[in-house]
Amino acid sequence: MSIHHREQKNIEKVISHLKNCKSILFITGAGLSADSNLPTYRGIGGLYNDEHTEDGIPIEEALSGAMLVRRPALTWRYISRIEAACRDAVFNRGHQVIAEMERHFPRVWVLTQNVDGFHHRAGSKNIIDIHGDVHSLCCTHCNHRRNVEDYSTLNIPPQCPSCSALERPEVVLFGEMLPPDKLFQLEKILYEGFHLVFSIGTSSLFPYIVQPVMEARALGTPTVEINPDQTDISQMVDVKITARAAEALDAIWSGYQKAMGINPTSGFNGSDT
Ligand code: NAD
Ligand code: ZN
């Protein structure tokens, strides 16, 4: 599948921004993993665009810190669905391109809202997974923590192997605070600044996801959005690419490599072909 020719001009613009670029920030959301067939919550193909969960409540309530305390089994039901979707999927060409670009450019960071761990698996190193990772569990009572490959051997909701209290994934549920260490790290990398900022596959609802784009814009740093849908930031970015994440990133990266006379790493072989 190739990019619509209407978007080709925008791809070219991004490639020209990359030519003298030393540092890139990739802000990513569920739309990037949508190209691995993981459902998003909102926007194109979103699970919960106009609908409540089958428990009759919005997803934001089901996946909230308050609900985990009140009805852990209910919250765990929806957490398990995210994990089950990850288990059946692998990272895609978009994650791969971001990891390859990290190896090519002097300084690349990923700020992701995704809890699927795909950036890590695709080879990115500089990742701030601001909402955590479903594969990391911790006890709600003692200090016990563990990483699990998947949830196939867990009784849901799982109990702490050490004290039998309820376990939870180390993810930020709705209504919970962001981890201070990750926020600190985010502030630090933003302070150091970037030459180019991408916002990919996110409905851009959270201030800490929108702000880096706004700050870049205020400083005159080029900004790019990749999303087949319109979001609140679509009008504000320098380049808006109305396409799917994996194919757009592949087109940008292979176009850049061609323009610079670099041997292309690998062709587009994402799961959405
Ligand atoms: P979101 O579901 O609110 O929005 C997804 C966005 O991606 C939408 O704007 C949609 O138009 C766009 N999109 C859909 N398909 C796309 C594609 N192929 N390429 C590019 N963009 C595409 O997701 P969000 O903004 O990341 O925020 C939702 C919250 O839900 C986050 O807190 C996140 O942690 C969580 N979540 C995570 C996952 C995951 O880890 N993969 C999946 C669903 C939700
Ligand atoms: Zn415990």
Closest ligand, as measured to the CA of 135: 1
**Distance, CA 131 to ligand 1 centroid (Å)?**
13
Determine whether the shortest distance from the Cβ of 95 to ligand 1 is under 6 A: no
E-strand stretches of 21-176:
23-28, 107-112, 127-129, 132-139, 145-147, 167-171
**pLDDT recorded at residue 250:** 97
pLDDT band at 43 (very low <50, low <70, confident <90, very high): low
Q: Which residue, among 49, 117, 130, has the nearest Cα to 82 in the 3D structure? A: 117
**pLDDT recorded at residue 271:** 42
Residue of 41, 93, 232 to mutate, ligand 1, most atoms within 8 A of C-beta:
41
**pLDDT recorded at residue 219:** 95
pLDDT band at 270 (very low <50, low <70, confident <90, very high): very low
- Please check the confidence at residue 133 and state whether its pLDDT lies above 80: yes
| E strand or H helix that includes residue 110 | strand 107-112
Do residues 227 and 198 make contact, with C-beta atoms less than 8 angstroms apart? no
**pLDDT recorded at residue 183:** 97
pLDDT band at 272 (very low <50, low <70, confident <90, very high): very low
Q: What average pLDDT does the segment 51-73 reach?
A: 92
- Please check the confidence at residue 243 and state whether its pLDDT lies above 70: yes
CA 100-104-109 angle, 5° bins: 70
Determine whether the shortest distance from the Cβ of 228 to ligand 1 is under 6 A: yes
Residues with CB in 5 Å of ion ligand 2? 139, 141-142, 144, 160, 162-163, 165
Pick 5 or 123 by higher pLDDT: 123
**Distance, CA 31 to ligand 2 centroid (Å)?**
35
Give the number of the atom of ligand 1 that is nearest the alpha carbon of residue 41: 2
Of residues 95, 119, 120, 131, which has the active-site annotation? 131
pLDDT band at 53 (very low <50, low <70, confident <90, very high): confident
pLDDT in tens, 141-156: 999 999 999 999 999 9
**pLDDT recorded at residue 85:** 86
Task: Give the pair of three-digit tokens for residue 109.
Answer: 């960071």
Output the average pLDDT for the chain. Answer: 92
**pLDDT recorded at residue 223:** 98
Q: How many residues does the chain have?
A: 273
The Cα 134–Cα 150 span in angstroms is 9
**pLDDT recorded at residue 189:** 97
Do residues 122 and 98 make contact, with C-beta atoms less than 8 angstroms apart? yes
**pLDDT recorded at residue 45:** 66
Q: What average pLDDT does the segment 8-18 reach?
A: 97
pLDDT more than 90, % of the chain = 81
**pLDDT recorded at residue 273:** 35
- Terminal C-alpha separation, the chain: 6
Question: For residue 47, which amino acid is it?
Answer: L
Q: What average pLDDT does the segment 37-48 reach?
A: 75
pLDDT band at 51 (very low <50, low <70, confident <90, very high): confident
Residue of 40, 171, 249 to mutate, ligand 1, most atoms within 8 A of C-beta:
40
Neighbours of 210 (CB within 10 A): 18
Q: What average pLDDT does the segment 227-247 reach?
A: 97
pLDDT in tens, 67-117: 999 999 999 999 998 898 888 899 999 999 999 999 999 999 999 999 999
- Please check the confidence at residue 167 and state whether its pLDDT lies above 80: yes
- For residue 95, indicate whether it is catalytic: no
